Amino acid sequence: MAIPTQSGTTLLARAVALLILIGGLGATWIGSRISGNRHHEEIRRIFTAEATSMRNLVARQVETYQEVLQAIGLLHDLSAQITERDFEEFSSKGLAFQRNILGAYGFAQRMPHAVRAELERTGQPALTVLDPAGDGTFRPAATRPEYFPLVHEQPAEALGFPVGADLASLPGFADAIVRLSSRDSPVLVHQIRLQQNDGSVGHFMLSPLYQDAGARVLSGFTLAVLWPQQILERALADIAVKDVLVRFYDPAMHADPDPHNPSGIAVTQTIPVADAVWRFEARAADEYLRARSTALPGLILGAGSAITLLLAATIAILAGRTRRIETAVSQRTRELKEANARLSDAMHERMRLESEILEISEREKQRVGQDLHDSLGQKLTGAVFLSRALAAQVREGDAGAGDQAARINEILKESVAQVRRMARGLSPVDLGEDGLSGALQRLADETSSVYGITCVFHHGDDPPAPTSHHAHHLYAIALEAVNNAIRHGQAKEIVLECAGENGRGRLTIEDDGNGFDPSSTQRGGMGLRIMKYRATMIGGTFDLQRRPSGGMHISCYYPLG
């Protein structure tokens, strides 16, 4: 192990101080930016709420304008029942609220050409129908199937054309009249607008009038001029709007405004106006942000920078005081490394010797088991057949002697079975067709038969197949656990299970015996230590726990490869 020198450690400490300085200043700058961004988002949220409130007020003004325009159409029916002079007096004196909302308004009457021709033929006083001339004046209208002349306006000449002008002949009115005939609500005229000296622009709005409401026959329309700037002034008259640029416009007639707006805070929403959709736009001026600025990001940047500089300076100063600590740590590291090396060699040697002892024991057990099976087992099997033949011969002459011979035959069969059990116990695992599962099943059957208790073995649909080396150790663990449960725990029921779990094999043994505390060192006998060692030898883990309902639970996880 290389021991760092004093100069190397000092350079490392100075490098750490530099990294802390760079990282701290960077983190402080990021923190200040995050704080500033959060404050900016909070201002944006508040501004959006204020803009939405203003938009709702403007939308309500537009709704009121349209409702008044539709309601004033009732005057059209009244004009046919009273004299023109009385109607003028009523309009000028009794409609102050409507005039305040609408400003200029008027009525247009549908006139078929046959009505115009009949009035001209009879010489009765009639409204002169006019068409616009090229020089801005009006002249008698040309012959058409029908006309929509202006029959009344309030105040006079406020709509930009005289009484009698056929509105259907003006740009955009014909298209608006077609749309109006299929609606119950107002429509806008898009091609022509009214402009005042101050540059403000008004939009003509038409509301339908029906001669027969049931048949929906358009008899004319109410006409008014919608001034967006006046709508904004009325809507925002009662609220304080400071440092906010507000616009209300028809996007089909205006390009999107893009005023100088360093704050970048803007809210654009839509408002239905007659049969169109206009835009309401609110933008925050520079003063809006300045009035709501905060010093928190600057405080974070200043305080964080000061703390970072102090910490980096402290580390740089302490970098020169590490000589004795470095020497002591280096010496202690060498000693621990040497001690660990010696301990590791001793542990490896101990494990090698224990493994050799265990392998020798296994070979001896297998040899003894093979001898029992091949030698004594075969001889006892022959004796069984001879005793069976003898019993048949004796039974023919002496019934009592025949019974004794049959008893000898039974004893010999039991001896053969006992020898085979002993042989399988000493060399139990046959990795043929059934392998470990077959050995565990035989262990369960023989335990139930010999000791008169319930011992069962469970396995999954696809039981894990360990190697031959692993199988011998696993069977030995199961056999030791079963014997301990019977001899020490007086168990009446034992359950063995072999299954796969998370890419590993799992062997579990549970019993309902007396159990004991696994943490008790007095109960940790040789059998328990051997089971743990066998699990270690196959690269597995061994766990022993006491069951809440009584008895013990043993589990061994092992690799399948």
pLDDT digits (tens, 9 = 90+) for 196-248: 887 888 899 999 988 765 667 888 899 999 989 888 888 888 776 678 889 99
* Tokens (6 digits) for 551: 């008895």
**pLDDT confidence bin for 262, thresholds 50/70/90:** very low
The Cα 67–Cα 88 span in angstroms is 22
Residue partners of 452: CB distance under 8 A and separation at least 6: none
Q: Is the pLDDT of residue 346 over 70?
A: no
Return the top range by mean pLDDT from 131-145, 327-341, 364-378: 131-145
| The predicted structure's pLDDT at residue 496 | 94
Q: Which residues pair with 495 in a beta bridge?
A: 456, 510
275-305 residue pLDDT tens = 999 999 999 888 887 877 777 777 887 887 8
Q: Is 107 exposed, middle or buried (0-12, 13-18, 19+ CB in 10 A)?
A: buried
Instruction: Of 284, 238, 247, 287, give the one whose Cα is nearest residue 269.
Output: 247
Q: Is the pLDDT of residue 96 over 60?
A: no
| The predicted structure's pLDDT at residue 56 | 93
CA torsion sign for 72, 76, 82, 86 is: positive
Q: Is the pLDDT of residue 386 over 70?
A: no
Average pLDDT of the residues of the chain = 78
Give exposure, 405-438, as e/b (b: 16+ Cβ within 10 Å).
bbebbeebbebbeebbbbbbbbbbbebeeebbbb
Top pLDDT among 404 and 23 is at 23
| The predicted structure's pLDDT at residue 431 | 47
Q: Is the pLDDT of residue 163 over 80?
A: yes
User: What is the pTM assigned to this prediction?
Assistant: 0.50
Top pLDDT among 192 and 80 is at 192
Q: What is the mean pLDDT of residues 391-403?
A: 65
Q: What is the mean pLDDT of residues 42-56?
A: 89
**pLDDT confidence bin for 455, thresholds 50/70/90:** very high
| The predicted structure's pLDDT at residue 494 | 95
∠99-100-105 over CA atoms, to 5°? Answer: 35
Pairing label, strands 504-511, 217-226: unpaired
422-448 residue pLDDT tens = 655 555 555 445 678 888 888 899 888
∠257-259-262 over CA atoms, to 5°? Answer: 135
Pairing label, strands 552-558, 504-511: antiparallel
**pLDDT confidence bin for 416, thresholds 50/70/90:** low
Q: Are 212 and 77 in contact (CB under 8 A)?
A: no
Q: Is the pLDDT of residue 543 over 90?
A: yes
Q: Is 133 exposed, middle or buried (0-12, 13-18, 19+ CB in 10 A)?
A: exposed
The Cα 224–Cα 167 span in angstroms is 13
Name the phi and psi angles at 140, rounded to 5: -55, 140
**Portion of the chain with pLDDT greater than 90, in percent:** 16
